[in-house]
Amino acid sequence: MQNRTLSLLELTRMVTALVQRPETQNVWVTAELSDVAVRGGHCYMELLQKDDRGLQIAKARGVIWASSFPRIDAEFFAATGQRFSTGLKVMMRVSASFHSVYGFSLVVSAVNPDYTMGDLMRRRREILQRLKQEGILEMNRQLQWPAVPQRIAVISAPGAAGYGDFINQLYHNPSHLRFSTKLYPAVMQGATAPASIIAALEAVATDMDMWDGVVIIRGGGATSDLQAYEDYELAANVAQFPLPVAIGIGHERDITVLDWVANKRLKTPTAVAEWLVALGDDALGFLMTVGNRILQLTTSRLTGNKEQLAHAEGLLPIAARNAVERAQSRLRNAATTLSGISGRRLQPQLTRLDMTLKAIADAASNRISRQRSLLDSRQTLLEALSPVATLKRGYSITRVDGHAVTSADSIRTGSIIETTLADGKVISTATAVETSSGNR
């Protein structure tokens, strides 16, 4: 017997009856969201399940009808700070539904935000634990900002309101502090944001000597966009960056992985600018305090010196007169004392001086007499031994060519001989020379 042919509507109604059984209604399932979109008040999405390798092993269309979506969305955001977005892992209470036109779907009636928070915290803990194990978690947080950082590299989206707010706050500060900035553009939300921000950091690193620090800022935006800042590669780059990094990505209630590794966390771009200005104001205040203290000390010292000078000027004439009077009094006392003791002290000294002078005169006279006697005796000896005395005794001195002759051998025949006698000289010529060895 041939089976009866069913119409498509009949078949889909049969499938609906099979699908929409009590055991498939109001059951809790866990899944990852994809392709989330809100249209006409309804929230449409794809629910995915992946294996450990990240391969998709199950997929179903999900929907939150407009009658339930505002309540579910508000409760989920209040608990997690997140809007429904691609990539979130959720636990939902669903009912299986099959429509003759729209096909199979899972209708969501409730969401357990604790599961999503737990998954986000688990992922964050895993990233932070990995950074800690690699020894880089606190590297950027240990860097020191200059006392007054004025050269700032800015990573932000070009034309973004947050970047404009930052620049306006920085360059129009009440203290008229001067700053130098450069924008390194990057995508600040979405799936491409981590790679874009990393590329901007690499560009800053090539100009590192130009900057005191880096700020990463994003103005406003959906809270769900914070998923871009829960990225390991981005966190690792910020943690190891050689310049201190300040974060201001427009969120206050949530802390991302990036906030854990950056040197400074502030809630908005404007807050980052206010912090930089405050550092300059603190330095100016310190300098003003030091300057005022120096002025006070200098004024106090000058005032004290002036008072001392005035006091000294008043005392100087009196002091000089008193000093002169004291000196004159000491001089008079000294004169009186000297006049009283001069006779007693000087007379013995004068007596000793006279005796010393007489002794010196006697000693000198005796010495001179002895030296005179010695000189006379030596003169007598010299006179007795002198050539003149010898000549007077009958001797003569013979010279040839001006030299005294002591030997006949030094005279030659024909030599001119000069003979000195006591009363004159005789000049002669040698005609013959006789020596002890014979005539020559």
Would you state the pLDDT for residue 63? 95
3-state class (DSSP) for residue 398 = strand
pLDDT digits (tens, 9 = 90+) for 416-427: 888 888 788 888
Percent of the chain with pLDDT over 70: 93
Q: What one-character DSSP code corresponds to residue 401?
A: T
**With 50 as the cut, is the pLDDT of residue 264 above it?**
yes
User: Up-side HSE of residue 184: CA atoms within 13 Å toward CB?
Assistant: 22
Q: Tell me the domain boundaries of the chain.
A: 8-116, 134-280, 390-439
**With 50 as the cut, is the pLDDT of residue 359 above it?**
yes
**With 90 as the cut, is the pLDDT of residue 238 above it?**
yes
| Cβ proximity of 123 and 78 under 8 Å | no
Give mean pLDDT, residues 33-42. Answer: 91
pLDDT digits (tens, 9 = 90+) for 303-323: 778 777 877 777 777 777 777
In this predicted model, which residue has the larger pLDDT, 124 or 178?
Answer: 178
In this predicted model, which residue has the larger pLDDT, 262 or 440?
Answer: 262
Location of structure tokens 């092993």: 57
Would you state the pLDDT for residue 342? 61
pTM exceeding the 0.85 threshold for the entire prediction: no
**With 90 as the cut, is the pLDDT of residue 296 above it?**
no
Would you state the pLDDT for residue 360? 85
**With 80 as the cut, is the pLDDT of residue 217 above it?**
yes
Among 234, 130, 257, CA closest to 188 = 234
Would you state the pLDDT for residue 225? 62
CATH class as words, domain 8-116:
mainly beta
Give mean pLDDT, residues 253-257. Answer: 72
Furthest C-alpha separation in the chain = 204
Task: Please state, in angstroms and rounded to a whole number, the distance separating the CA atoms of residues 301 and 367.
Answer: 78
Q: What one-character DSSP code corresponds to residue 416?
A: E
**With 80 as the cut, is the pLDDT of residue 64 above it?**
yes
Q: What one-character DSSP code corresponds to residue 224?
A: G
pLDDT digits (tens, 9 = 90+) for 131-145: 999 999 999 999 999
Task: Please state, in angstroms and rounded to a whole number, the distance separating the CA atoms of residues 16 and 70.
Answer: 28
User: Up-side HSE of residue 254: CA atoms within 13 Å toward CB?
Assistant: 24
User: What string of DSSP letters covers 1-61?
Assistant: -PPPPPPHHHHHHHHHHHHS-GGGSSEEEEEEEEEEEEETTEEEEEEEEE-TTS-EEEEEE
3-state class (DSSP) for residue 82 = coil
Strand partners of residue 400: 403, 417
Task: Please state, in angstroms and rounded to a whole number, the distance separating the CA atoms of residues 352 and 346.
Answer: 10
Give mean pLDDT, residues 276-305. Answer: 83
Would you state the pLDDT for residue 1? 46
Would you state the pLDDT for residue 117? 67
**With 50 as the cut, is the pLDDT of residue 209 above it?**
yes
Kindly tell me the sign of the dihedral angle through the C-alpha atoms of 199, 200, 203, 207: negative
Location of structure tokens 């020379």: 433
Give mean pLDDT, residues 214-221. Answer: 83
Query: ∠ CA 335-337-343 to the nearest 5 degrees?
Result: 100
First to last CA, the chain: 197
Q: What one-character DSSP code corresponds to residue 195?
A: H
**With 80 as the cut, is the pLDDT of residue 331 above it?**
yes
Domain 134-280, CATH:
3.40.50.2300
Kindly tell me the sign of the dihedral angle through the C-alpha atoms of 210, 212, 218, 220: negative
User: Up-side HSE of residue 95: CA atoms within 13 Å toward CB?
Assistant: 13
Determine what percent of the chain falls in helix, strand and coil, rounding each to the nearest 5: 50, 20, 25
pLDDT digits (tens, 9 = 90+) for 158-206: 988 889 999 999 999 988 899 999 999 999 887 789 999 999 999 999 9
Would you state the pLDDT for residue 272? 94
Give mean pLDDT, residues 74-81. Answer: 81
Give mean pLDDT, residues 90-104. Answer: 88
**With 60 as the cut, is the pLDDT of residue 222 above it?**
no
Mean pLDDT estimate for the chain = 84
Percent of the chain with pLDDT over 90: 33
